[in-house]
Structures are given as C-alpha cells and as structure tokens.
Amino acid sequence: MIKVHSAAGGTILTGRNFKPQANSMPKVSLFIPCFVDQLTPEVGFDVVRVLRRIGCEVEFPEAQTCCGQPAFNSGYWDDARPLAERFVRVFRASETVVCPSGSCTTMVRNFYPELLAGTALREEAASLGRRVFEFSEFLVNVARVTEVGAVFPHRVAFHDACHGLRELHIKNEPRELLRRVRGIDFVEMPLSEECCGFGGTFAVKFDMISAAMGETKAGNAEASGAEYVAAIDPSCLLHLDGILRRRKSRVQTIHLASILARTGAPAEAEPSKAVPQENR
Amino acid sequence: MSTAAREFLRNAAQKAADRANQRNIRRAIEHYNESAREGRARFLDWEAARQQCHEIKWEALNHLDEYLVEFEERVKERGGHVFWAETGEDARRYVADLAKSRGVRTIVKSKSMVTEEIHLTPALEKIGIQVLETDLGEFIVQLRNEPPSHIVMPAMHLSRGQISKLFQEKLGAEATEDPAKLVAVARQTLRRAFFSAEMGITGANFLIADSGMIAITTNEGNDRLGTAIPRIHVAITGIEKVLPRLEDLALFWPVLAAAGTGQRITVYNTLIGGPRAADEIDGPEEFHVILLDNGRTELLADAEQRDVLHCIRCGACLNACPVFRTIGGHAYGTTYSGPVGSVLTPHTRGLAEFQHLSFASSLCGACTSVCPVKIDLHHHLLQNRRNAVRASDRPWLERAAFSIWRWTMMGQRRFAAAGQLGRTLLRGLYAMGVEATPLDPLRPWTRRRAASAIPRKSFRAMWGQGGGKE
C-alpha cells in the first residue's frame, strides 16, 4: 500500500488499494462510438474500469449505433439526421452520458442543435447535449476526481485532439489526470495542438496530406522522448498508430482511459498490446 | 471530379512529399508564431479586440450601400475618381483604358491580392505595359514568374539560398545570402523604376467611409514611393474593405499588425484621400479608386457565410492551418489559399469546380481560433460540403455508400452483424497477407499506414457476453 498526499491536502491511497472517496457518483450511460465498438473495444472497457473504480454505476444502452458524425462531416446531413434523432431517443432517459471521444461528444453537444434545427427533437437534443461528457471532462469537471488510483511507470506525451481542444475547450483536464498517475513521467510534446491529420474521411480522400500531417505529429512525439503518446480521441490514435508503426517508431499510442485503467496489477494486459490476447 | 480538383490532388501529393518545401514554410511560420504570440499578448484583452473587430465589420457590411456611397462622395469632393467594377473584366478594362489614354508605359505596383484575383498584370502586359512589383516578396515571385504563395508572405516558400540564386540568374547579382545585401539588390532595381513609372497601382487595406480615404499598410514603404512619384495613382480594392469611421483604424491597424506579422503596428500606414491638392508639394495628379464586386454581393446575400467578407487578409488562418503548412499556398491553385481561400473560392469561382478545397481539411478549427475578425471558417467548410451534397455534386458511389451506411446504422442488429462480418472478413484476408496490397479492402487507409490489429469481438458482443460485469 502506498500513501501519497492529494492536492486537497488529505492522504489517499493509490495503486491496487485505491478506494473511491465519493459516495454519490452519478449513474453513467456509456456512449461508445461506433468505431471504438468495432475496432478498439478495450478502450471502452478501460473507461468502464475507471468509472467503476471511482464509484459510478455504469450501463451500456445496447440500442446505440453511431452518432452520425461521418455523414454530417461529409456533407450528408440528410443521412446524419435520422441517426441523430435515433441517438436522442436511445439516450433520452440517461442522467449522464460519458464518451471516450471528444469528437463524438462535440457532435452531440455542439452540432445536434444545428443538425436538428426545425425538428421536434431539437430542444431535447440541446438538453441531452448538456448531459453528454467526454471522459476526461466528466472525471475532472463533473465527478470532481483527478486521482483515480492509476499506476503507469512510463514517459508519456499528450496530443491535444482538435475537437476536444477547440470545440469542447478541453486542455487541462487530461493533464490534471495524467499528472496524478503514479510513476508517470509526463512530458509536453512540441506543437501538441497541431492536428494529427486524421479528419475522418479526409484521411482517405486526401491520404497524402493526412499522412504527411501524421508524419509531422509522429516526429514531434518522437522528439519529446516519450514512450507513449496519449490522447482523448481513439480516432486520432488509430491514425497515428498506423503512421508510427509504418515508420517503425519506438513511440506507441494509448488512450487516456487505458492509462488511467492501469493499477499495476500483475494480471493486467501489457499496455503495448492494442488488442488483448483473448480478443485477437 | 473537376479539372481544378484533379490538379489540386496532383499538386498536393507532390507538395506533401516535398520536405524541403515544408521546411521553408515551417521556418517562416515558426518565426511568425513567436511574433504573433507576443503581438496578441500586447493587447489588454485580445478576445475583446477580436469581438469588437467582428462587430464593426458586421456593422459596415450591414450598411455597405450607405458607407460605400459616403466614401465615394468624399473622394469625389477632393477631385478623385471612383469606378464601380462589377467584374474583374470591368476593372481590368478600366485600368487598361486609363493607361492607354494617358500614354503609360511603366507601372509600379505595390502588393495587392485583388489585382492577383483579377489577373491584372498579365492583362496590362498584353497591351505592352511593363508592370513591376515593388514589394520585396512580390518582386521575388514575379522574377520567378509565379503567383504569391501567401497573402502576407508571398515568397515564404523560398529559402534564402533560392532567392540568392534567383537574383544571380535574373539580375546578375553577386552570390550572397546576407538578407541586407539581397534587399539592396532589389532596391537598386526598384528605385529606378519608381522614378520612371507614369502610374502607381496599389490595393487598399481599408476604405474609410466618413473621411473618404484609403488606408494602405506596408512594411517597406514601397506604397509611398509608388503613390507619391508617378503621375497617376490607381487603387483597386474589394467593396468589403470599408470601415465606417476613421477612428476604427485605432483598433484595426494594431489588430491587423498583430495577426498579420505580430508587429505592434505595421511600419508604414498611409492614408490617401485624393490627388495632389493645390497647396501640396507631392502626390499624383490623378487619383482613381476601383471598387470591385466580383461576386462579393452574392456572398453578402448568403446569411450563413457573409462573415467571410470580414476578412482583412492578415494570413493568420493560413499560418495556423496544418494543411497549408504541409502543402503550401501554390498547391491550392487559387488566388486566396488556406482556409479563407477554401471557403471563399467556391463562392467566387463556383462550388462545382472548387468544392474539393472544402473537403481537403481535417476540420481541426485552428483557423477559426486565430481569425482576428472571428470568421467561422471551419464551419463554413462544413457548410460548403453540405451545399455540395445538396447540389448533387458528389460522386454517385459516395452517395450510395452513405445511404447504405445510414440504413445499417439505423438498426443495432444490422450494425452489429455488419461489423462482425467486416471484421471476420478482414481478419481472414489479413491472415492471408493481403494487408497493404492492392487487394486490401482498406487500401486507401493502409497505403500510408500500418493496419491496426482487428479485434475478434466488438465491445457490444463482449458486454453482452458478461464482459460488462464487475
């Protein structure tokens, strides 16, 4: 058992013996973006682990599919609209919705009101948008927790994913969480706010520009000396992971939730393995 | 796909692979970033300044009809001429006719994006008039016979070594990379031209309605020589450049300087209200202002995007744009490049031909966050995409794909089944080693990235099988 002093002044426990202090955490409905569901499910489970550890009850509304952002950002608003309406219906009873992606959170909070303007669900969408939170902003601003009992003895740099940074104004929340991780060596990378080049369909429509932007980001991650580059958006990480591995970089990508989920227990999967053994 | 789009793809691919070009651009932008950070920090409240600029521009554009007429009246009172040009062709013809009728053989030009927009120089050269760019950066790109690659830094894509070589080849200059010596070479050529030219052409950064003056901002003072010495001064500018009051410059001059270069204030700020008056010792005999529309009133009628006319051409959005940093200005193939160019060009030159620029963005929003007059740039890119879909200007395959995608996503079982099928297929194919080969269904993705491991089960499948239990 390790004792450390929390910022608030009290002594709390970290590592495997961490116990949540709060006793009235909100009940959380998970919003798992469609590509996280299909391609990086472990990020979803890492979110669940952290939320439960701090005392949240977690449910997963299984009727959810996609928020509609791919169509919306490609200009197909008429295809995106029924999905937005569907999303509002699926989550209408949820008290608090948490999503491990700044981009998908932005879609619901900032763009649903515009997309659903003039429809019956517009007001309900706007009110739902105020209950949907990106994972790090939920922890820091809603649950008021920065210490989640995580252990991650590695050098980590943080990439500011664009939608989180500029649409949701998330800048300090992930850093506050990372700085409280035991054993971590947190470093700032050069130009952390510059886009990694993913950009949805942009990544395949203009793959040469997207990849060149990714190379720049990869170079900056390497220059920071980090072993891991972390972010709050799995889409950036998917792109960056492909770029980094193609250039045989020693830097690996990791979602913030996957760092916070690690407590140093021997049974935990190696963080470097994107897909755990049992799901390969 | 339009011709312009095909050309863009070709150019962008070439520039995205050109690391030397990117180094030149990044070096210039790095220097800019440092100055601009200091420039913004000099304001007590930069955000409030942006908001105020936005509101003044909003007011000016909402009363454009009154302010422009007020401007015209003041200029005419002082003996100047004002010509309203509906199109680029109208403006070109006015200048050409004026030059011919006054026997003009040489024109000195200071930096102006509007003259680039209407391709003025080639039109004048065609009738035998020599046109010399007098801004150093513009002088350099003119020697290279290429357009400026940036609104404020026209030669930012070139290294000092490239400029030195250019001066050796074209001007017979000595080999040197000393900036002061390079400037001296240009100055020598330009000074002679200022004294022999019969006409000076400038743009205008602002038109001041209440005092009937044009405001020109430069760092080299070339505008002053070009407007004070030649007999005739022609200023060409877009109708959106109007500001209601002279005192508005107290805000706009420092804001333009901070956003454009990071300076406290640009070195030379000139106000010109007419030809030389009887009691003045210098200035031109004739003063002409051309107010160019060229599609701007149509943009004004677009309630969603009319704030694009707020643009003061500071170039901040170009510098902030990661796409611009990667491919540079020339790849765009348009007069105005970067985010503002991608938003503006479909309005002035057609959505069908130039919609691709609105798709060539990651929608990162860096442009919007730096714009000193608060143009909602990246949302306009998104709206242009929507407009392209509405106008049925997108490939049928893409339309069909999104219809199928929507149908799939409208049912959780369909989504789960499609996902399972897709992953199983991909896992099978990748096990057979098709990754990154032409047979790879994810080829557009894996052409430039390693494929990620595809999980056997989705989140929902594992949750349903008890993975969600504590």
Question: What's the domain count of chain A?
Answer: 2
Average pLDDT of the segment spanning A181-204: 97
The string over B145-164, giving b where at least 16 C-beta atoms fall within 10 Å of a residue's C-beta and e elsewhere, is eebbbbbbbbbbbbbeeebb
pLDDT of residue A22: 52
pLDDT at B163 > cutoff 60: yes
Q: How confident is the model at residue B467 (pLDDT cuts 50, 70, 90)?
A: confident
Q: What percent of chain B has pLDDT over 90?
A: 96
* Euclidean distance between CA atoms B448 and A26, whole angstroms: 43
- List C-alpha distances in Å: A244 to A222, A228, B12, B316, B361: 9, 11, 22, 30, 22
pLDDT at A20 > cutoff 60: no
Q: Check CB contact of B469 with chain A, cutoff 8 Å.
A: no
* Euclidean distance between CA atoms B57 and B71, whole angstroms: 16
pLDDT of residue A12: 44
Name the minimum distance, in Å, from the CA of A9 to any CA of chain B.
31
**Domain check: are A108 and A82 in the same one?**
yes
Name the minimum distance, in Å, from the CA of A4 to any CA of chain B.
27
Average pLDDT of the segment spanning B410-418: 98
Q: How confident is the model at residue A21 (pLDDT cuts 50, 70, 90)?
A: low
Domain contains A148: no
Among residues 270-299 of chain B, which lie with CB inside 8 Å of chain A?
none
pLDDT of residue A280: 73
Give the closest of B12, B322, B458 to A37, CB-based.
B458
**Domain check: are A54 and A161 in the same one?**
no
* Euclidean distance between CA atoms B312 and B332, whole angstroms: 20
- Domain boundary (A86, A110, A142) is at A142
Domain contains A8: no
pLDDT at A227 > cutoff 50: yes
Q: How confident is the model at residue B169 (pLDDT cuts 50, 70, 90)?
A: very high
Domain contains A118: yes
**DSSP code for A8:** T
Rounded CA Rg of chain A? 18
pLDDT at A80 > cutoff 90: yes
Domain contains A261: yes
Domains recognised in chain B with CATH numbers = 1-41+315-394 (no CATH), 46-294 (3.40.50.10420), 409-467 (no CATH)
Cβ within 8 Å, pair A213-B326: yes
* Euclidean distance between CA atoms B307 and B54, whole angstroms: 9
What's the sign of the alpha-carbon dihedral A236, A242, A244, A250?
positive
pLDDT of residue A9: 40
**Domain check: are A182 and A267 in the same one?**
yes
> Residue A138's domain is classified under what CATH number?
3.40.50
Name the minimum distance, in Å, from the CA of A8 to any CA of chain B.
29
* Euclidean distance between CA atoms B321 and B151, whole angstroms: 14
Closest-CA residue to A235 (of A204, A263, A262): A204
pLDDT at A7 > cutoff 60: no
Chain A residue closest in CA terms to B388: A75
| Joined tokens for residue B13 | 């691919």
Mean of per-residue pLDDT scores for chain B: 96
**Domain check: are A195 and A249 in the same one?**
yes
What's the sign of the alpha-carbon dihedral B167, B173, B177, B182?
negative
**Domain check: are A165 and A199 in the same one?**
yes
Characterize the bridge pairing of strands A58-59 and A28-30: parallel
Residue corresponding to tokens 């940036």: B150
Name the minimum distance, in Å, from the CA of B396 to any CA of chain A.
13
- Residues of chain B with Cβ-Cβ distance to A41 below 8 Å are 455, 457-459, 462
Q: How confident is the model at residue B47 (pLDDT cuts 50, 70, 90)?
A: very high
Cβ within 8 Å, pair B449-A242: yes
* Euclidean distance between CA atoms B315 and B25, whole angstroms: 13
**Domain check: are A174 and A115 in the same one?**
no
Q: What percent of chain A has pLDDT over 90?
A: 85
**DSSP code for A25:** P
Structural domain including A238 reads: 155-271
Chain A residue closest in CA terms to B457: A279
Name the minimum distance, in Å, from the CA of B40 to any CA of chain A.
18
Q: Show the 3-state SS of B350-403.
A: CHHHHCHHHHCCCCCCHHHHHCCCCCCHHHHHHHHHHHHHHCCCCCHHHHHHHH
**Domain check: are A127 and A204 in the same one?**
no
pLDDT at A13 > cutoff 60: no
Cβ within 8 Å, pair A198-B362: yes
Residue-wise pLDDT tens digits, B9-42: 999 999 999 999 999 999 999 999 999 999 999 9
Would you call B63 helix, strand, or coil by DSSP?
coil
Domain contains A1: no
Q: Check CB contact of B78 with chain A, cutoff 8 Å.
A: no
pLDDT of residue A4: 41
Residue corresponding to tokens 């348009």: B334
pLDDT at B436 > cutoff 90: no
Cβ within 8 Å, pair A163-B446: no
pLDDT of residue B466: 81
- Contact criterion met (CB below 8 Å) for A139 and A50: yes
Cβ within 8 Å, pair A62-B460: yes
Residue-wise pLDDT tens digits, B222-264: 999 999 999 999 999 999 999 999 999 999 999 999 999 999 9
* Euclidean distance between CA atoms A82 and A100, whole angstroms: 23
Look up residue B102 and give its amino acid.
R
- Residues of chain B with Cβ-Cβ distance to A199 below 8 Å are 361-364
- Residues of chain A with Cβ-Cβ distance to B326 below 8 Å are 209, 212-213, 216
**Domain check: are A103 and A167 in the same one?**
no
| Joined tokens for residue B4 | 């312009």
**Domain check: are A197 and A264 in the same one?**
yes
Alpha helix positions (H), B81-127: 88-101, 113-117, 120-126
* Euclidean distance between CA atoms B188 and B200, whole angstroms: 18
Chain A residue closest in CA terms to B467: A45
pLDDT at B193 > cutoff 70: yes
Q: How confident is the model at residue B1 (pLDDT cuts 50, 70, 90)?
A: confident
Mean of per-residue pLDDT scores for chain A: 91
Residue-wise pLDDT tens digits, B103-146: 999 999 999 999 999 999 999 999 999 999 999 999 999 999 99
Closest-CA residue to B423 (of B459, B382, B379): B459
Domain contains A149: no
**Domain check: are A207 and A240 in the same one?**
yes
Q: What number of other Cβ atoms are within 10 A of residue A119's Cβ?
A: 14
* Euclidean distance between CA atoms B257 and B259, whole angstroms: 6
Cβ within 8 Å, pair A197-B423: no
Domain contains A178: yes
Look up residue B151 and give its amino acid.
I
- Domain boundary (A121, A142, A163) is at A142
To test the contact with chain A by mutation, choose from B34, B408, B449, B454 the residue with the greatest count of A C-beta atoms within 10 A, namely: B449
Cβ within 8 Å, pair B452-A242: yes
Domain contains A76: yes
Give the closest of A44, A202, A280 to B362, CB-based.
A202
pLDDT of residue B239: 98
Q: What number of other Cβ atoms are within 10 A of residue B99's Cβ?
A: 23
Among residues 37-66 of chain A, which lie with CB inside 8 Å of chain B?
37-42, 44-45, 48, 52, 58, 60, 62-66
Contacts (Cβ under 8 Å, ≥6 apart) of B269: B215, B216, B217, B249, B253
- Contact criterion met (CB below 8 Å) for A210 and B362: yes
Average pLDDT of the segment spanning B344-368: 96
Contacts (Cβ under 8 Å, ≥6 apart) of B409: A34, A65, A66, A68, A83, B415
Residue-wise pLDDT tens digits, B369-381: 999 999 999 999 9
Chain A residue closest in CA terms to B362: A199
Which stretch of A32-46, A152-166, B183-197, B402-416 has the lowest confidence by average pLDDT?
Answer: B183-197
**Domain check: are A181 and A125 in the same one?**
no
**Domain check: are A168 and A217 in the same one?**
yes
pLDDT of residue B342: 98
- Residues of chain B with Cβ-Cβ distance to A167 below 8 Å are 365
Cβ within 8 Å, pair A246-B445: no
